[in-house]
Structure 1
Amino acid sequence: MLALYRRYADAILATLPAKRLLALDALRGLTITAMILVNNPGSWSYVYGPLRHADWHGWTVTDLIFPFFIVIVGMSLQLSLQRQSTVSKAVIIKQGALRSLKLIGLGLFLVLFYYNFRDASYNYIEQKLLALRWFGVLQRIGVVYFFSLLIVLYCGVRGRILWLVGLCAVYLAAMLFVPYQDAYGNRFTGLLQFGNSFAAWLDHTVLGANHVYYRSATPFAFDPEGLWSTLPAIASCLSGVLIAQWLQADRSLVQKIRGLLLCGVVAVWLAELWHFSLPINKSLWTPSFVLLSSGYCAIALAACIWLCDVKRWRRWSAPFVVFGANAILFFMFAGIAARLLGMISVGPGSLQSWLFNHLYQPVLGSYNGSLAFALSFLLLSYLLMHWCYKRGYIFKV
C-alpha cells in the first residue's frame, strides 16, 4: 500500500513546473481541505470543539481557515504579478475586475442554489430571492482580491505596509469612536458586542436585516463577511503580498524560513497580548485577528517550506496539491453537493440526515459519526478532484 501511494504521489508531483512553490500549493490545499471538512459535518448538533468557530471573542483552529485563504490569495497575487511584468496595468486591472465579478457571481449562485421541497408553503421568491444574503466567502474573496490588486499595482513595499496599517487603523477608529444609534434613539460608541458594533450598525443600515447572515441579532442584524470588516480583510491579503515578497527576495532558503518563523511568532505573541484590550474576533475581523491569523499562516508556510524544500519530504503534499489546484471548483462542488444533500427528501427529513441517522451515528456514535460523515464527504470530493486533475481540467476564474 505504501509503495502504491509513493508511485501515486510521485506521479502527481511530476506534473508540477520545476520552479513552482510546492509549499504554497500544499498550504492552499490544506486550507481548502480544512474549510470543506468543517463545513460539512454529519450533524451540526455534534461537532467537536476545535471544528467549531468561537462563539464570539477568542478563536479556534477553525477560525484561522478563512483568513489563511485570504493571506494565500495575497501571496498568489504577488507571485502572479511577477509573471505578468510585461503586461500593462490597464489589462491587469480589467482581468482582475472580471475575476472579482466572477467570484462574486459564484458566491451569489451558491446562496440562491436552494429550495425547500419539504415545505409546501415555501416561497422561493420571497424567502430566498428577495431575502438574498449579499455577502459571503467568495464575495469577500472577490472584493478583497480586487482592492488588493489595485494597491499592489500602484504602491511599492512602503505603500503596501502603510495601506495595511492604515486600513486597520481606519477600521478601528470607526469601531471605537464613531457614534451610532438604533431605531429607538439609543446611542452607542465603541462596543464590540454580538449585534451591537459600528460594523453591525453599518450592515443593518446599508444591507438590511433580511440580507445578512445573522438576521436575528439585536439591536442590529449583521454579516460576518460584511461591509466594514472587509477593510481589515484587505489588510490580511496585503500581509500575504508582503510574505510573497519576502520569499521572492534574494536570500537563502534557511533565511526565508527563519524570517517567516520570527515574524509569525512575534505577530501571534503581539496579537495574544492585544487580545486583552482589543479582542481577537473573526466575525468582526479585528486587527488583532489580522495579526494572529497572518502570523500563524506565516508559521504554517515556513513549516511547509521546511518539509518540502529542506527535508525534501514531498509526497505527503500530493493530495493537497490536487485539492489546491482546483480550490474554487472544490469549494463550488462541496457547496452544491451539501445543498443537494439537504434538499433531497428521504421520509420526513433530508438525505443527509437520513445518512447520518441510519449509517454513521448508529455505528460510530454522534460525534465520531458526524466527523466520519465529513471525512467521507472529503474522500468522495477527492475522487472527483483527482479525476479533474489527471485530465488537466483546472477551473480558474
Structure 2
Amino acid sequence: MEKQKLQRLESLDVLRGFDLFCLVGLEVFIHRMKAPINQSWYDKFLWNFSHVEWTGFSPWDLVMPLFLFMAGVSIPFALSRYRSEPNKLPIYRRIVKRFLLLWIFGMMCQGNLLGLDPSRIYFYSNTLQSIAVGYLVSSMLFLHTKAKTQIGVAAGLLVIYWAVMQFVTVGNYGGGNYMPDGNLAEWIDRIVLGRFRDGAKVVDGEVVFSPWYRYTWILSSLNFAVTVLTGLFAGHILKNKEADPKKKWQLLLGIGIAMVVAGWLWYFQMPVIKKIWTSSMVLVSSGYCFLLMAIFYYWIDYKGHRKYLTWLKVYGMNSIVAYMLAMCINFSSVGQSLFQGTEQYIGAWYPVLIAASNAVIIYLILWMMYKRNIFLKV
C-alpha cells in the first residue's frame, strides 16, 4: 500500500470505476431482482447483464475486455520514463512482480488457494491472469519497440490466432470449427492444463472435463495480449502532450467505430465468441472500449465535468482491491445479521436487500481507503 502522488488521467479512473461498479456493485443486485419483479420484460432486460451462451456479444461481455483494455491504457503513463533508461532491470523486476501477484490473486479469486483443497487447484482460469499475460507482453513491447512495431505485433497475433484455429486440425478439433466441442483452443487447454483446467476432476484415474466450462486460456493468451495492446494504443494517444485534446477524443472515437465495424464484418468468417476470445471478438470489444474511452475522456478531461463522479473514482483507484473483495470475501453474513428480521415482511425482496448490503460494505471499505489516500499498487 502507498499514498497516491502522481497526476492521473481522471477519465481512466472513472471508466475503471464504472467497470468495477458494474461488476462488484450492480450485477448481483440486478439479477436478484428477477424473482420479486417476475415480469417478462425484466427477463429480456437481464440480457444486458448476462454473458451470451456462445456466439454474439452482450453489454455484459464487455466487462472483462474493458478491464484488460484499461490495463493497457495505463502503461504509457506508468512506464514512459523507463524507456530511455539503459538499465531496465528495476522495471523488469516490477513487471515480473506484478505478473506473479496478479496470477496468484487470480487463483485466489477462483477459490483455488483459499479453498485449501488440492483437488480444486486450477492453474489458469481468471481475468486477473489474462491481464497479467497481456500486461507482460504489452509492457515489454512498450519499453523496447516503437508504436508501429506494436501495432504490427497486435495485427500479427490476431492473424496467428485465426490461422491456427482455421487451418490446424487435431482429430475432431480445429480446421475452422468454432463450436464448443470442436474448436482447437478447447483441445489445447485440455491437453496443456489437463487436471488443472477449471472444472476438471479425476475420476477412476482419468481426467473428466466439465461440460459446462467452455472458457479457453492457452491459445486465447495471444488475443489477451492484443486486447491489452489496443489499450496501449489508446494510452499513446492520450499521453501525447503535443496532440490537440479535441483531436484525441475524435481519434479515439474514429478508431473505435472502425474496429467495431471490422470486427462484425470478420464475424461472417470467424464468429464473435468471448469464451474462446476470437480475433473478431477482440476487434469488436476493443472498438467498444475505444468508444467508451472517447466518451469518458471527452466529458471529464476535455469538457472538465468532474462533479458527482468521485464515487466512481473510489472504485477505479482501488480496482484490484474491489475485485478481490467481491471475489474472495462473502459479506452476506453481515447483511443477514443486520436484517434477519425483515425477511418475513419483504419476502422475495430479502435477497435483493442482502445483495445491496454486500455492495455497500465493499464500497465503504473502498471509500475509507480513498479518503485516507491509500491505494493498492500491484
2:178 aligned residue: 192
Deviation at 1:40, TM superposition (A): 3.6
In structure 2, C-alpha distance between the alignment counterparts of 1:327 and 1:313, rounded to whole Å: 22
Unaligned runs of 5+ in 2: 36-42, 201-208
1:392 has 2:373 as partner = yes
In structure 1, C-alpha distance between the alignment counterparts of 2:339 and 2:156, rounded to whole Å: 48
Which stretch of structure 1 is more off in the superposition, 283-292 or 270-279?
Answer: 270-279
The verdict on how the C-alpha distance between 1:361 and 1:272 changes in structure 2, with shifts beyond 3 A counting, is: farther
In structure 2, C-alpha distance between the alignment counterparts of 1:337 and 1:106, rounded to whole Å: 13
1:91 aligned residue: 90
1:318 aligned residue: 310
Deviation at 1:97, TM superposition (A): 0.5
Deviation at 1:195, TM superposition (A): 3.1
Q: CA offsets, 1:328-384, max 9 Å, x none? A: 11111111223x64xx7xxxxxx9999999967973857xx7666544432221111
Which of 213, 221, 245 is equivalent to 1:253?
A: 245
1:108 aligned residue: 107
2:264 aligned residue: 272
1:378 has 2:359 as partner = yes
Contact 1:195 1:217 in 2 (8 A): no
Question: Alpha carbon RMSD of aligned pairs, Å?
Answer: 3.1
In structure 2, C-alpha distance between the alignment counterparts of 1:239 and 1:204, rounded to whole Å: 29
Secondary structure of the corresponding residue to residue 23 of structure 2: helix
Which of 109, 133, 149 is equivalent to 1:159?
A: 149
In structure 1, C-alpha distance between the alignment counterparts of 2:353 and 2:335, rounded to whole Å: 13
Contact 1:176 1:190 in 2 (8 A): yes
1:53 has 2:36 as partner = no
Contact 1:247 1:256 in 2 (8 A): yes
In structure 1, C-alpha distance between the alignment counterparts of 2:82 and 2:195, rounded to whole Å: 42
2:63 aligned residue: 65
2:322 aligned residue: 330
In structure 2, C-alpha distance between the alignment counterparts of 1:216 and 1:81, rounded to whole Å: 41
In structure 2, C-alpha distance between the alignment counterparts of 1:353 and 1:230, rounded to whole Å: 40
In structure 2, C-alpha distance between the alignment counterparts of 1:352 and 1:169, rounded to whole Å: 49
In structure 2, C-alpha distance between the alignment counterparts of 1:21 and 1:164, rounded to whole Å: 24
Q: CA offsets, 1:235-275, max 9 Å, x none? A: 01111111111122322111111111111112112222222
The verdict on how the C-alpha distance between 1:17 and 1:286 changes in structure 2, with shifts beyond 3 A counting, is: same
Which of 235, 238, 243 is equivalent to 2:229?
A: 238
The verdict on how the C-alpha distance between 1:354 and 1:379 changes in structure 2, with shifts beyond 3 A counting, is: closer
Contact 2:77 2:235 in 1 (8 A): yes
Identical positions, percent: 27
Contact 2:165 2:174 in 1 (8 A): no
Q: TM-score, normalised by structure 2?
A: 0.84
The verdict on how the C-alpha distance between 1:179 and 1:76 changes in structure 2, with shifts beyond 3 A counting, is: same
Which stretch of structure 1 is more off in the superposition, 15-24 or 229-238?
Answer: 15-24
In structure 1, C-alpha distance between the alignment counterparts of 2:96 and 2:214, rounded to whole Å: 26
Contact 1:168 1:287 in 2 (8 A): yes
Q: CA offsets, 1:49-70, max 9 Å, x none? A: 2111011100111100111111
Unaligned runs of 5+ in 1: 1-14, 116-123, 345-350
Q: TM-score, normalised by structure 1?
A: 0.80
1:35 aligned residue: 23
In structure 2, C-alpha distance between the alignment counterparts of 1:266 and 1:360, rounded to whole Å: 51
The verdict on how the C-alpha distance between 1:354 and 1:83 changes in structure 2, with shifts beyond 3 A counting, is: same
In structure 1, C-alpha distance between the alignment counterparts of 2:6 and 2:88, rounded to whole Å: 28
1:170 has 2:164 as partner = no
Which stretch of structure 1 is more off in the superposition, 136-145 or 17-26?
Answer: 17-26
Contact 1:203 1:212 in 2 (8 A): no
In structure 2, C-alpha distance between the alignment counterparts of 1:308 and 1:16, rounded to whole Å: 20
In structure 2, C-alpha distance between the alignment counterparts of 1:354 and 1:206, rounded to whole Å: 45
Partner AA of 2:237 in structure 1: W
The verdict on how the C-alpha distance between 1:360 and 1:292 changes in structure 2, with shifts beyond 3 A counting, is: farther
Secondary structure of the corresponding residue to residue 31 of structure 1: helix
Deviation at 1:197, TM superposition (A): 0.8
Which stretch of structure 1 is more off in the superposition, 274-283 or 170-179?
Answer: 274-283
Aligned residues: 355
The verdict on how the C-alpha distance between 1:362 and 1:257 changes in structure 2, with shifts beyond 3 A counting, is: farther
1:304 aligned residue: 296
